[in-house]
Chain A
Amino acid sequence: MFRNIPLLVLIFALYLGLRHSGVPIGSFTAAVASLSLYSSAYIAEALRSGVLAVETGQAEAAAALGLSRRTVWIRVVLPQSARLVIAPMGNLLISMIRNSAVAGTSILAIPDLMNQARQLQSQTFLTTETFFWAAIGYLALTAVATAAVNRLNRWLALAR
């Protein structure tokens, strides 16, 4: 369901809707909740595809050896699916970094990188320079995330 709702609409619905219902939700909490709900739908699909990619025969063979369901899950299924899931999860992490700018520019006004850039721009009127450096900031954040994901991928990869 959440995959079909734009993030901005979700932020409005969650923040204003809960406040209207009398729930005193803070802007940061609303931002975390909306980003989590929005991304969890995609993450669930990524995890599910990773689990489905592990052949059932693997789990059945492990069960035939007398391993408990818990051990089968932890020792057989999860390690194999984790390797497959790292790349799509990395993509989702990067898209979440980019989506966080929506929370900064929306009514929530989280003081994130984009919001700080907007404030700086309104004070100095240096539009191009300010947003150029904001873009560099996001590029740096995504580069660090990509490097971390690649490192994790190499660490989990099988020695060939």
Chain B
Amino acid sequence: MNVTDLWGVLATVAPPCYGSAMTVLLVVLSFAIATLLGAFVCVLRCCSQPVLRATGTGSSRCSATFLCSS
């Protein structure tokens, strides 16, 4: 394999590799931020609706209300 062939192979392989790397970067960053946002929203929702009526007997409280109730 000479140098021209090598550049040809690299030119073929580079765009998909770069594209995959960009996809991974985009997903990893977005997932990390989304998880943090989601956890924040989850705690907010648990604190704002502490009592959840269960079907049948009695009611159940969200475990996360321990974070907001004394």
Near B by CB (< 8 A), chain A positions 115-152 give 115-117, 119-120, 133-134, 137, 140-141
Query: Given A40-B41, A93-B27, do A56 and B63 touch, yes or no (CB 8 Å)?
Result: yes
Inter-subunit contact B62/A52 (CB<8 Å): yes
Residues of B within 8 A of A37 (CB): 34, 37
* Contacts across chains A and B counted by CB atoms under 8 Å: 134
State the main secondary structure of chain B at its contact with A: helix
Inter-subunit contact A52/B52 (CB<8 Å): yes
How far, in Å, is A23 (CB) from chain B's closest CB?
A: 18
Count residues of A near B (Cβ-Cβ below 8 Å): 53
Residues of B within 8 A of A39 (CB): 30-31, 34, 38
Q: Which residues of A contact B (CB under 8 A)?
A: 28, 31-33, 35-44, 46-48, 51-52, 54-56, 58-59, 63, 69, 72-73, 77, 81, 89, 92-93, 96-97, 100, 103-104, 110-117, 119-120, 133-134, 137, 140-141
